[in-house]
Amino acid sequence: MTAEGPRVVEVGEQFVVNFSVNAKPSSFQAPDMKDFYVLSGPNQSTSQNFQIINGKASQSITVTYTYYLQATKPGTFIIPPAIVTVDKKDYNSNSLAIEVVGTQKQPQTATQGEEPSAQQPVPDEELFVRVTTDKTSVYQGEHIIATLKIYTRLTISGFGSSEMPDFAGFWTKDIETPSQINLQRENVGGVIYSTGIIRKLILFPQKTGEITISPFKLETYVRQQVNTPRSIFDDFFGQSYKDVAKMLESKSVVINVKPLPAGKPDAFSGAVGSMSIESEIDKTQVATNDAITIKIKVKGNGNLNLIEAPKIDFPPDFDNFDPKVTSNVTNSAAGQVGSKTFEYLLIPRHAGNYRIPPVSFSYFDLARKQYQTLTTNEFKISVSKGREDESVAVMSGMSKEELKILGNDILFIKPGPFKIYPAGKILFGTIQFYGLYAGSFIIFLAIVLFRRAHIKKIQNEELVRNRKANRVAKERLKQASAHLKQNKTEAFYESILKALWGYLSDKLNIPVSELSRETAGKNLSTRITETVLVDDLLSLIDACEMARFSPSADSQAMDKVYADSVKVISKLEQNIR
C-alpha cells in the first residue's frame, strides 16, 4: 500500500493525497489529518486489469482512496500511515511529510493588466539550474553524488541543447534516473519551485586538491502568454502562447579533495569505502595438471570499479594466469554498491603439499577515517601425482630446476639467552692488568736478589771453612800424636778419623753427617785429577775404621797411619781445586 502527495504546498492551496492498494480491501482506516482541512474524501475509485497472455490469465486490481485537502497553516506536517485490512491482515501505507509554506506572490507572467511585451525576459529567479553535490569535502576516492537539477516556477515546454559539465579529475558513473523528468515541488528559501532531476552522477575524485566542476548549461524553452495583438481568434482559442528560449547556466561547484592520511598499509591500492572480502577455492585435493579456481570477492560500497586484482604469491610450482574479473555493481545515490570477483586459475605442475598464503586487502574506511586491512583465509592444497605426471617426471629429471630464490631478507634475531656484559669493561689497560706485570716482576727481582745475596753469604762461609780446613786438620792430627804418645789406641784412631772426615767436609762443603765413603769418593773424584790419591784416602779411612775397634795396640801401625794421614792431607791440600 502506498501513499502519495505533494511535498510542498502553500497555505490555502488545495492538493490531493492518494492512498492506493493493489488488492481489494475489506476495510480502510484513514489516517489522522487534523493539520489540514479536508475538503472531500475519501473518494474511492477502483481500476481493474485483466490480461490473458498465451492462455494464462492474470488480474490486477487497484483501489485508490483520494482526499482533497487544503493547507491551513505553515509548517511541516506528517500524515501518518493509513491502515487497510485485506484478508484479515492489516497493511500500513507509508507516512507522508508535507511542508506548508506561507503565501507568496504569484508568478509575474500570469499577471493581468501589466504592460505586455512580445519578448518578455525570463527572470533568473523564476527558472534556473543547479549542480548540487552531497558533499563538498571528501577524501580521494570517496564517492560524491552530483545532481543536475532544474528549478522552475514557469511552464517549460521543452529543452534545447545542453552542455554537461566536464567532470575533469573525477571518475564518473551515471545513476539511472527516469528518462522522463518528473517534476516535484520543492521549497527553496520559502518559495515553491517545481524541480526536476536532469541527471544524477556518482563521482570518484582521482586527484587531491580543489577540483572545480564547470557549469552546467541548458537551453530551456518557456511557454509565455502573449497578450498582443489580441484578435477574435485568440479569444476564441483561448490565450495564445509563445515559446521563449533561455540559456540556463549553473554556478560552478568547488570540491575540496583531501589526500588520504599517511600510514598506508602495503596492501593498499586505492580502495575507499566500506568493504569486505571473501575467498573460496573449488577444491583442495587435486592431481597434478588439474585446474584449481580461487575466487576472491570484494563486496561493499565504495570505488569498487577501481579496485585492482589483489596480488597473490602463488607457489612457484603452480602455473597461474591473469585473473578473470567480473563485477556486479550498481550505482545509486548511496554510492557504488555491489561486488567484484577475481577468479584465479591455477594449475599445479608438481605433486606435494602447498599453501596459498592469505590475501591482504586494504581499504580506507570512511566511517572510521582509518585504513582497514582484511585478510582472507589461507588455503592448503595437496597435490597428488596425476596419471600424466610420469612423462612430466621424466622431463623434470632431465632438466633439473635451479633453486628458486623467492626473496631476500635479513636473518632472524638471535633468540638467546646470550651473554650480556657491562660495556667498556676491558681488562687491558686497567690497574689490575698492569699491576700483575709489575707485581710479578718485582717479586721475581726480589727473589733473584735475595737468592744472590744468600748464595754470596754461603760461599763466603765455605771459603772461610776451606781455608781453615788445613789448620783444623793439623790441630786434630796434633791431638792424635798426643794420644799416640800416651798409647791410647782408640782415642788416637778417633782423632785421625775426625781429622780426615772434618777435612773432607770442609773442603767438599758437605756436612759431616751426610758424608759417607761413597759420597766422599764421588765428590772428591770430580774435584781431583789424581785418582790414586782418592784411593789412598779411602784405604786409610778403611784401615782406621778397622783398627779402631781391634784390641791389639800396634804402635808401629799407629805411627804409619799418622804419617800417611799427614801425607794425604798435605797432598790433598795441594791437588784439590
Q: By the criterion CB under 8 A, which residues form the site for other proteins? A: 408-424, 426-429, 433, 436-437, 440-441, 443-444, 447-448, 451
- Taking the complex as a whole, how short is the minimal distance between the CB of residue 424 and other proteins, in angstroms? 7
Give 397 or 415: the residue with its C-beta nearer to other proteins.
Answer: 415
Give 241 or 444: the residue with its C-beta nearer to other proteins.
Answer: 444
- Taking the complex as a whole, how short is the minimal distance between the CB of residue 448 and other proteins, in angstroms? 6
DSSP code for 108: G
The DSSP code sequence of 164-192 is PPP-TTEEEEEEP--SSPPPEEEEETTEE
Query: What's the grid cell of residue 251?
Result: 554556478
Give 178 or 415: the residue with its C-beta nearer to other proteins.
Answer: 415
- How far apart are the C-alpha atoms of 467 and 506, rounded to whole Å? 9
Give 321 or 434: the residue with its C-beta nearer to other proteins.
Answer: 434
**Cell 583531501, located at residue:** 258
Length, in residues, of the chain: 577
- How far apart are the C-alpha atoms of 571 and 492, rounded to whole Å? 21
Give 89 or 414: the residue with its C-beta nearer to other proteins.
Answer: 414
- Taking the complex as a whole, how short is the minimal distance between the CB of residue 358 and other proteins, in angstroms? 15
**Cell 511552464, located at residue:** 155
Identify which of 121, 107, 118 has the alpha carbon closest to the alpha carbon of residue 151. 107
Give 55 or 422: the residue with its C-beta nearer to other proteins.
Answer: 422
Secondary structure (3-state) at 107? coil
Give 61 or 445: the residue with its C-beta nearer to other proteins.
Answer: 445
- Taking the complex as a whole, how short is the minimal distance between the CB of residue 541 and other proteins, in angstroms? 27
Secondary structure (3-state) at 250? coil
- Taking the complex as a whole, how short is the minimal distance between the CB of residue 423 and other proteins, in angstroms? 4
The DSSP code sequence of 426-483 is -STTSHHHHHHHHHHHHHHHHHHHHHHHHHHHHHHHHHHHHHHHHHHHHHHHHHHHHH
| CA angle 544–549–551, rounded 5-degree value | 115
Give 113 or 422: the residue with its C-beta nearer to other proteins.
Answer: 422
- Taking the complex as a whole, how short is the minimal distance between the CB of residue 428 and other proteins, in angstroms? 5
Which amino acid is located at 149 in the chain? K
Give 289 or 360: the residue with its C-beta nearer to other proteins.
Answer: 360
Cβ–Cβ < 8 Å for 32, 48: no
Give 427 or 532: the residue with its C-beta nearer to other proteins.
Answer: 427
Cβ–Cβ < 8 Å for 376, 281: no
Cβ–Cβ < 8 Å for 38, 77: no
Query: What's the grid cell of residue 285?
Result: 585435493
Cβ–Cβ < 8 Å for 200, 185: no
Tell me whether residue 275 is exposed, middle or buried, using C-beta atoms within 10 angstroms of its C-beta: 0 to 12, 13 to 18, 19 or more.
Answer: buried
- Taking the complex as a whole, how short is the minimal distance between the CB of residue 508 and other proteins, in angstroms? 15
DSSP code for 463: H
How many Å separate Cα 461 from the centre of its chain? 92
- How far apart are the C-alpha atoms of 304 and 293, rounded to whole Å? 22
DSSP code for 512: G
- Taking the complex as a whole, how short is the minimal distance between the CB of residue 419 and other proteins, in angstroms? 6
Cβ count near 544 (within 10 Å):
20
- Taking the complex as a whole, how short is the minimal distance between the CB of residue 375 and other proteins, in angstroms? 14
- Taking the complex as a whole, how short is the minimal distance between the CB of residue 449 and other proteins, in angstroms? 11
Identify which of 87, 95, 94, 43 has the alpha carbon closest to the alpha carbon of residue 69. 43
Q: Please state, in angstroms and as integers, the Cα–Cα distance from residue 241 to each residue in 230, 232, 245, following that order.
A: 12, 15, 13
- Taking the complex as a whole, how short is the minimal distance between the CB of residue 462 and other proteins, in angstroms? 15
Give 118 or 438: the residue with its C-beta nearer to other proteins.
Answer: 438
What are phi and psi for residue 120, nearest 5 degrees? -75, 125
Cross-strand bridge partners of residue 52: 57
- Taking the complex as a whole, how short is the minimal distance between the CB of residue 360 and other proteins, in angstroms? 14
- Taking the complex as a whole, how short is the minimal distance between the CB of residue 264 and other proteins, in angstroms? 14
Give me the torsion for CA of 154, 157, 163, 169, rounded to 10°.
Answer: 60
Query: What's the grid cell of residue 316?
Result: 612457484
Give 78 or 438: the residue with its C-beta nearer to other proteins.
Answer: 438
DSSP code for 349: -
Give 49 or 432: the residue with its C-beta nearer to other proteins.
Answer: 432
Give 52 or 427: the residue with its C-beta nearer to other proteins.
Answer: 427
- Taking the complex as a whole, how short is the minimal distance between the CB of residue 414 and other proteins, in angstroms? 4
